[in-house]
Copies of this chain bind each other. A is one copy, B any other.
């Protein structure tokens, strides 16, 4: 039986903890914007697709990759209110329904901060579940609704080929697959495919027959230049600048790669279809990430990559310099304003566990 481990086989990439100025807590506005946009889609999805049972007393909900809040609490509130409404609409008394909410993230997530920020007026029994969502986290058929916001783009690990000097996929002088050899992009795509497959397999076992899963993941338009991936590449350029200045070793840049992948809508749809356990009830590509503000773009990236960079380069001193350089690169490149760069999507997906 697979179960949640403290020493994970897959790697974890925690968001900045606590609630300081560079914390994820204070720099996840993009994500909040995304959740607001999909609020109506979740409400509608539950109203139309949730199967209510008159005998049901407990509704179990999980938010996978919840980080430290506050977005996870908004999402959970929306789901709970929507489920109650659906029971009422179906003529079932929802007053005696009780909700259990499982907040999941890696063992390295700051659960202490998360627990302290659970809203006082919460209408649910809260639990934290440590572990990778690429593995099993819950008992069989024990979840009614699973949600995940902006978490599935994180790969379980950097593809091994791209840090192998002997491989045609070696990603020299780069930290991402934008503008890299096609072998690099292919390695990323393969890893993402594997990760989505293991994610869907685990959830297929954990979600009840007919249960729902919604998730939001940043995505890219097919065959266009995209602001999001261009910006990732610019962080690599900023790191190479630091290497030229002698502040870090170039080899260290060669061996550093962001464990992130952004699929196109079709690509994601195919992966779900090939997996076969879920039917796609809805998929929408929302444009919510469009911003021309350099500072907030940099801050946003920083909340997600600070720890990764510090861990790899072993030197927290470079962070300020790096993000200054990164902001300059963004301004010089005009990727935020040039209309040939398309904005990224927030892909909203609503899946239903096929009957078993």
Residues of A within 8 A of B (CB): 1, 3-7, 57-58, 98-100, 102, 107, 110-112, 115-120, 122-131, 136-142
Residues of B within 8 A of A7 (CB): 120
Residue of B nearest to A99 (CB): B139
Tell whether, in the assembled complex, residue B3 and residue A124 are in contact, meaning their CB atoms are under 8 Å apart. yes
Residue of B nearest to A128 (CB): B128
Q: What is the CA–CA distance of A120 and B139 in the complex, to the nearest angstrom?
A: 18
Q: What is the CA–CA distance of A100 and B98 in the complex, to the nearest angstrom?
A: 18
Tell whether, in the assembled complex, residue A122 and residue B3 are in contact, meaning their CB atoms are under 8 Å apart. yes
* Of the residues B6, B136, B137, B139, contact of A115 by C-beta under 8 Å: B6
- 22 residue pairs of the A-B complex, CB under 8 angstroms, read A1-B123, A5-B118, A6-B118, A6-B120, A57-B139, A57-B140, A57-B141, A58-B139, A58-B140, A58-B142, A100-B139, A100-B142, A102-B127, A107-B118, A110-B112, A112-B112, A115-B128, A125-B136, A125-B137, A125-B139, A126-B130, A128-B129
18 more CB-based (< 8 A) A-B contacts, given A111-B115, A118-B130: A3-B125, A4-B118, A5-B122, A6-B115, A6-B116, A6-B117, A58-B139, A58-B142, A102-B127, A111-B111, A112-B112, A115-B128, A125-B129, A125-B137, A125-B138, A125-B139, A127-B129, A128-B130
Residue of B nearest to A100 (CB): B139
Residue of B nearest to A102 (CB): B127
Q: What is the CA–CA distance of A117 and B7 in the complex, to the nearest angstrom?
A: 9
Residue of B nearest to A124 (CB): B3
Q: What is the CA–CA distance of A308 and B126 in the complex, to the nearest angstrom?
A: 27
Q: What is the CA–CA distance of A4 and B107 in the complex, to the nearest angstrom?
A: 21
Q: What is the CA–CA distance of A138 and B99 in the complex, to the nearest angstrom?
A: 9
Integer count of this chain's copies in the complex: 2
Residues of B within 8 A of A118 (CB): 4-6, 107, 130
Cβ distance A10 to chain B, nearest Cβ, rounded Å: 14
Residues of B within 8 A of A3 (CB): 122-126
Q: What is the CA–CA distance of A140 and B97 in the complex, to the nearest angstrom?
A: 10
Cβ distance A219 to chain B, nearest Cβ, rounded Å: 31
Residue of B nearest to A141 (CB): B57
Cβ distance A339 to chain B, nearest Cβ, rounded Å: 45
Tell whether, in the assembled complex, residue B107 and residue A130 are in contact, meaning their CB atoms are under 8 Å apart. no
Tell whether, in the assembled complex, residue A115 and residue B107 are in contact, meaning their CB atoms are under 8 Å apart. yes
A4 and B98 contact, Cβ closer than 8 Å, known pairs A112-B111, A140-B58: no
Residues of B within 8 A of A107 (CB): 115-116, 118
What 4 A-B pairs have minimum CB-CB distances, sorted nearest first? Answer: A115-B130, A127-B127, A98-B139, A128-B128
Q: What is the CA–CA distance of A36 and B223 in the complex, to the nearest angstrom?
A: 64
Q: What is the CA–CA distance of A301 and B141 in the complex, to the nearest angstrom?
A: 44
Residues of B within 8 A of A110 (CB): 112
Q: What is the CA–CA distance of A116 and B5 in the complex, to the nearest angstrom?
A: 9
Cβ distance A123 to chain B, nearest Cβ, rounded Å: 6
Residue of B nearest to A111 (CB): B111
